Amino acid sequence: MIIAEKTVAHFHYTLKNEAGEELESSNGHEPLTYLHGANNTLAGLEKALTGRATGDKFSVTLQPDEAYGEYQEGLEQRVPVKHLQGLVSKSAKWKKGMTAVIQTEQGQRQVTVIKVGKFMVTVDINPPLAGKVLTFDLDIVAVREATEDEVKHGHVHSADSSCGHDH
């Protein structure tokens, strides 16, 4: 089966920056799973995966406009320190350059710490990879037809979890 509208793709990836340095990888973990055609992954990645099949291994390089967008100056916000999530331990402290997660009305968002005060932190709300050219090494593990519920809800349902919608 090929990856097309209303299919669920399972794939491993290794993400590299322009210098070829590995930024993250799913190898050794569960493969990434998404519903194709529901805007659940980067536009350039979805385009590159279209028409591929189980067993395909390939690389794709995405320009910023196909990945996390261009870096935008002036996207700074002050937020209470207590709203930052992602420290490795309770004794760790937030420092300039660290990546944190904050909860927004649109869901979770990654931010970069710019300045730390006693109660407030200034963060850059650009995605950490905004403005970067990225290369994905991809290995398609499986492709299946999406269920009716997955198509209706716009995302993959795992066998052991519910998305919270009434079925």
Instruction: Specify the pLDDT at position 105.
Output: 84
Q: Is pLDDT above 50 for 162?
A: no
Give pLDDT tens digits for 109-118.
899 999 999 9
Q: Is pLDDT above 70 for 160?
A: no
Residues with Cβ within 8 Å of 88's Cβ and at least 6 positions away in sequence, in order, are none
What is the CB neighbour count within 10 angstroms for residue 9?
A: 29
Instruction: Specify the pLDDT at position 133.
Output: 97
Instruction: Specify the pLDDT at position 107.
Output: 83
Give the whole-angstrom CA distance, residue 44 versus residue 135. 11
Residues with Cβ within 8 Å of 146's Cβ and at least 6 positions away in sequence, in order, are 6, 7, 8, 35, 36, 156
Q: How many CA atoms lie within 13 A of 20 on its CB side?
A: 0
Fold of 76-124: Thrombin, subunit H (2.40.10)
| Three-state secondary-structure class, residue 129 | coil
Average pLDDT over residues 94-108: 90
Average pLDDT over residues 86-106: 87
Q: Is pLDDT above 60 for 159?
A: no
Cβ proximity of 15 and 22 under 8 Å: yes
Q: Is pLDDT above 60 for 166?
A: no
Structure-block tokens of residue 39: 């805007």
Give the whole-angstrom CA distance, residue 24 versus residue 126. 19
| Three-state secondary-structure class, residue 95 | coil
Alpha helix locations (H) across 96-165? Answer: 148-153
Average pLDDT over residues 27-36: 93
Give pLDDT tens digits for 37-61.
998 889 999 999 999 999 999 999 9
Fold of 7-68+130-153: Chitinase A; domain 3 (3.10.50)
Instruction: Specify the pLDDT at position 163.
Output: 46
Instruction: Specify the pLDDT at position 23.
Output: 94
Spell out the domain ranges in the chain: 7-68+130-153, 76-124
Query: Dihedrals φ, ψ of 65, to 5°?
Result: -70, -15
Residues with Cβ within 8 Å of 117's Cβ and at least 6 positions away in sequence, in order, are 81
- The proportion of the chain whose per-residue pLDDT surpasses 70, expressed as a percent, equals 95
The conformation of residue 65, written as its DSSP 8-state character, comes to: G
